[in-house]
Amino acid sequence: MEKVIDENKQGTSLQLEQKQDNSKKLFIESYGCQMNFSDSEIVASILSNEGYNTTNNLEEADLVLVNTCSIRDKAEQTVRKRLDQYNQIKRKNPGMKVGVLGCMAERLKSKFLEEEKIVDMVVGPDAYKDLPNLLKDVDEGRDAINVILSKDETYGDIAPVRLQSNGVTAFVSITRGCDNMCTFCVVPFTRGRERSRDPQSIIEEIQDLYERGFKEVTLLGQNVDSYLWYGGGLKKDYEKATEMQKATAVDFAQLLDTCATTFPKMRFRFSTSNPQDMHIEVIETIAKHENICKYIHLPVQSGSTRILEAMNRQHTREEYMALVDKIYELIPDISLSQDMITGFPTETDEDHKDTLSLMEYVRYDFGFMFAYSERPGTLAARKLEDDVPEEVKKQRLTDIITLQNKISLERTQRFVGTTVEVLIEKTSKRSEDEWSGRNSQNTTTVFPKENYKVGDFVLVEITDCTSATLIGKAVGYSPMQA
């Protein structure tokens, strides 16, 4: 649950610029968090050099890949249905290969490949460079499987293609894996231990984006706040580093500061943060730079210290509240968002009330809220009985969503009567005559197009709002406009 899942993007098939000499067709579809969508860009880049152009037409594909998520049972069931659909088409086109990538690949490798025989190959999140060899294995009739988790793979040497990009915003991965071992989460088992990417390769990727006209970058990882580069290797092995490695190490605050300083005409966001790893230096860096967006996704999962301990969240309710106090003190105009799980094993009515009161205290602008879904292989699944009845989970989830919607409206209303900076990303869904973009606090903002264009930084005077959207009129370009 540490990664934000955009329900509007689930199952998006991805297409990029076609290489003239490539003769084979790749259909690649992504589910789950933004890390999966980012990984699909890496896969498309690798396969582009193997003769594959992407297509949105499943029927014409030579190779079909689905990049999967194991965070929730719903995501796994959706992928299973898609695999059935792929195989119906494969019966008409026997030459078509089907492969599963990502987190489900690691978790269900033998089931997919050997027992159910519904795929030709299974590729884990650290094995994408092995795709050319695995495709040869399929051609030669061998099982094609690589789900080995790496200690050092970060794909820092691969320039991702930007699939269906708006040419304005992009994601740049800076860490892979996670060491936190939350009891409800499969990520450490499906994506491995935490390691950070060489900062030089990150800056080079952002430089390339800047030269191509991109205006905003989101630094991406399971837990960006624990980014630590000391020459390579796992985060947990940092204590064995030499004195020189420790003296020249780069942490997340330093990386963020370097990005904002090096590219003053680009905006920066990051996701996801873990409360126990967010240090004061990161908050100070956000406050220091105008071009670092005033928005933090700060998952908490529960407002009850007892439940947080059962989740192995490594912070208490009081510690989380103290962190929020410090953030608001240094960045008064910040927006915060949450991940919340309701109905975790042993959760009582009192625990639920603690969650609601924490939400009232923090005043989140947005939220990503789920009923607990037991994930096989996690510590919670092995050690804790899923003992909260479904109807109770549903009612508590309704309580949380209702409260968040109320607070979201109140938080969005604070912008009415102010002028905000907006980066234009696309035409508004509600009108062809309006632009849509986000302000620094990550709130969607719509306004008449006039003579502005996608990629412009515009000052917008806010006249009205809904709980999720600001409505206004552009009054000129912002100082960020180059």
259 annotated as belonging to a binding site for a ligand: no
The mean-pLDDT minimum among 20-34, 142-156, 407-421 falls in 142-156
Position 5 scores a pLDDT of 43
Provide the pLDDT confidence category of residue 32 given band limits of 50, 70 and 90. confident
Q: Can you give the pLDDT at residue 7? A: 46
Instruction: Give residue 115's pLDDT.
Output: 67
pLDDT of 11 strictly over 70: no
Q: What is the pLDDT of residue 250?
A: 96
33 among annotated binding-site residues: yes
What is 113-161 written as a DSSP string?
IIIS---SEEE-TT-GGGHHHHHHHHHTT--EEE-PPPSS---TTS---
Cα separation, 76 vs 64, whole angstroms: 17
* pLDDT score, position 226: 92
The reported pLDDT for the residue numbered 147 is 77
pLDDT bracket for residue 473 (50, 70, 90): very high
253, pLDDT greater than 60: yes
Backbone angles phi, psi at 358, to 5 degrees: -65, -40
% residues pLDDT > 90 (the chain): 59
Residue 157: which pLDDT band, with cuts at 50, 70 and 90? low
Q: Per DSSP, what are the bridge partners of residue 419?
A: 461
1/349: higher pLDDT: 349
Average pLDDT for the chain: 89
- d(CA 39, CA 45) in angstroms, rounded, equals 10
Determine which of 16-20, 31-35, 65-69, 374-378 has the lowest per-residue pLDDT on average: 16-20
- The CATH number of 169-412 is 3.80.30.20
pLDDT of the residue at 13: 53
**Lowest-pLDDT range, 33-42, 121-130, 330-339, 373-382?**
33-42
The winner for highest mean pLDDT among 93-102, 169-178, 278-287 is 278-287
- Domain(s) labelled CATH 2.40.50.140 in the chain stretch across 418-481
CATH architecture assigned to 418-481:
Beta Barrel (2.40)
Q: What is the largest CA-CA distance in the chain?
A: 66
CA distance 187 to 181: 8
Residue 3 has pLDDT above 50, yes or no: no
Partnered with residue 217 across adjacent β-strands are: 170, 268
pTM metric for this prediction: 0.79
Instruction: Judge whether 364 and 324 are in contact, CB under 8 Å.
Output: no
Query: Distance of CA 145 to CAs 98, 124, 125, 132, 326, Å?
Result: 12, 8, 12, 12, 47
pLDDT recorded at residue 2: 34
| pLDDT at residue 6 greater than cutoff 60 | no
Amino acid code (one letter) for 343: G
103 is in an annotated binding site: yes
**293 carries a ligand binding annotation:** no
Q: Is 465 annotated as ligand-binding? A: no
Of residues 21 and 432, more confidence is placed in 432
- Tokens representing 423 are 């980066």
**Could you tell me which of 108, 83, 107, 79 has the C-alpha nearest to residue 97?**
83
Tens-place pLDDT, residues 374-395: 887 889 999 999 999 999 999 9
Spell out the SS3 assignment of 6-63. Answer: CHHHCCEEECCCCCCCCCEEEEEEECCCHHHHHHHHHHHHHHHCCCEEECCCHHHCCE
| Stretch(es) of the chain classified as CATH 3.80.30.20 | 169-412
Indicate the class that CATH gives domain 7-146.
alpha beta
pLDDT over 50 (residue 214) = yes
Looking at the chain, the domain(s) classified CATH 3.40.50.2300 span 7-146
**8 Å CB contact between 113 and 66:** no
DSSP one-letter code for 84 = H
* Model confidence at 10: pLDDT above 70: no
Residue 69 annotated as binding? yes
Average pLDDT over residues 29-39: 80
